[in-house]
């Protein structure tokens, strides 16, 4: 069995920045409340003509440059998103076309904010099998289009962005050495867009205005996330036969600074062992982990020989983690 690792990373966020003070002009909130409750100060908002696939393409281009590869070198694209360009066909296929990957498979997965860590595990299982040498794993989201901008409990939390990784064969003992994934469908309504699917189409008699937007039970999410985050880290380390003392850096889903602090405390790790950028970008859902990893790499926080754990949790309910040996 080949060792599979990340040979290139890329990220992209749209240029338009929206601050807490900008939100104060639109809904009844305050900079102090948002900062204290979430740790967020700013987030990026895609322009109206920009699609999820456009952000993904830019992140993928950056990842390909980092890997020293061309678009035609890619054999498979896996997109993690819960804000696709269209309900069907796949946004991954749109990315494949825009990127110019001429001989390449492509498909979407949806595990909401935990999507990219799921996609990383899936992608790692393809590399080294017949016909799959290089796999692009990308998380891309435009949550600004699926939010109710009048719902102050959710609209201030999210931002738009994309992050991508190129997976390929690496040296023995390196790369993704374990993944652990879990789901609990009994909590599917905790985070959801209630309408727009076959259960409640927009033209249904049961359709209620507002149900086409993102909904979240904040208290239930908190209770879930503060347990799911440390559990995923511990379970993935156990599968890798590693201990928490071996970990050099944890890159969690950038949902909320207080969730991250609580989770790190439960792991017995200080905040110096993690990387956060949610103060700049908010919660970018399935894109948050690769964007944070790319920044951590650029800042020299991930070095050769480091053991890094990526962990995420979100709608589904779904959660998981990957252990990566650099």
Query: Choosing from 51, 60, 104, 113, which is the catalytic residue?
Result: 113
Bond into 89 cis (ω within 30): yes
> Could you identify the residue written with the tokens 């690792």?
5
Query: Choosing from 20, 62, 277, 283, which is the catalytic residue?
Result: 283
Neighbours of 219 (CB within 10 A): 9
Pseudo-torsion of CA 76, 90, 146, 39, nearest 10°? -10
Asked if residues 142 and 83 have their Cβ atoms less than 8 Å apart, the reply is yes
Which of 16-42 are b and which e, b meaning 16 or more Cβ less than 10 Å from the residue's Cβ?
A: eebebeebeeeeebeeeebeeebbbbb
Asked if residues 284 and 256 have their Cβ atoms less than 8 Å apart, the reply is no
Tokens of 189: 């309504």
Rounded (10°) angle between helices 31-38 and 257-267 = 20
Torsion angles phi and psi, residue 170, rounded to 5: -130, 180
| Nearby residues of 58 by Cβ (< 8 Å), 6 or more positions away | 10, 12, 162
DSSP of 175-200: EEEEEEEEE-GGGTTTEE--SSSSSS
Dihedral angle sign, alpha carbons of residues 2, 5, 7, 13: positive
Going by C-alpha positions, the residue among 80, 55, 60, 84 that lies closest to residue 72 is 60
Tokens of 37: 């409750």
Query: Choosing from 51, 215, 253, 322, which is the catalytic residue?
Result: 253
Specify whether 283 is catalytic: yes
Specify whether 113 is catalytic: yes
Asked if residues 323 and 242 have their Cβ atoms less than 8 Å apart, the reply is yes
The span from the CA of 98 to the CA of 109, in Å, is 19
Catalytic residue annotation: 113, 253, 283
């Amino acid at each position: 069995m080949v060792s599979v690792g990340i040979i290139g990373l890329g990220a992209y966020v749209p240029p338009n920045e929206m601050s807490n003070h900008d939100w104060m002009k639109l809904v009844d909130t305050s900079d102090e409340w948002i900062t204290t409750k979430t740790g967020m100060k700013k987030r990026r908002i895609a322009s109206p003509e920009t699609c999820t696939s456009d952000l993904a393409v830019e992140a993928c281009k950056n990842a390909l440059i980092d890997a020293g590869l061309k678009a035609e070198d890619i054999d498979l694209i896996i997109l993690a998103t819960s804000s696709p360009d269209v309900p069907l066909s796949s946004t991954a296929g749109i990315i494949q076309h825009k990127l110019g990957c001429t001989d390449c498979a492509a498909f979407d997965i949806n595990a909401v904010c935990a999507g990219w860590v799921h996609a990383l595990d899936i992608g790692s299982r393809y590399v080294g099998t017949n016909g799959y040498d290089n796999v692009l794993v990308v998380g891309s989201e435009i949550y600004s289009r699926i939010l109710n901008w009048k719902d102050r409990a959710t609209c201030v939390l999210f931002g738009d962005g994309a992050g991508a990784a190129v997976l390929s064969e690496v040296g023995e003992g390196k790369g993704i050495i374990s993944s652990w994934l879990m789901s609990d469908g009994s909590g599917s309504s905790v985070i959801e867009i209630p309408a727009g699917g076959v259960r409640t189409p927009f033209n249904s008699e049961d359709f209620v205005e507002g149900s086409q937007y993102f909904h979240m039970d904040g208290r239930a999410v908190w209770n879930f996330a503060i347990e799911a985050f440390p559990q995923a880290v511990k379970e993935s380390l156990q599968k890798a036969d590693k201990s928490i003392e071996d970990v050099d850096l944890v890159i969690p889903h950038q949902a909320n600074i207080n969730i991250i602090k609580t989770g790190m405390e439960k792991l017995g790790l200080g905040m110096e062992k993690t990387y956060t950028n949610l103060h700049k970008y908010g919660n970018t859902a399935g894109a948050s982990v690769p964007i944070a990893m790319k920044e951590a790499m650029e800042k020299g926080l991930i070095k050769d020989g480091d053991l890094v754990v990526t962990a995420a949790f979100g709608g589904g309910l779904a959660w998981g983690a990957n252990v990566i040996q650099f």
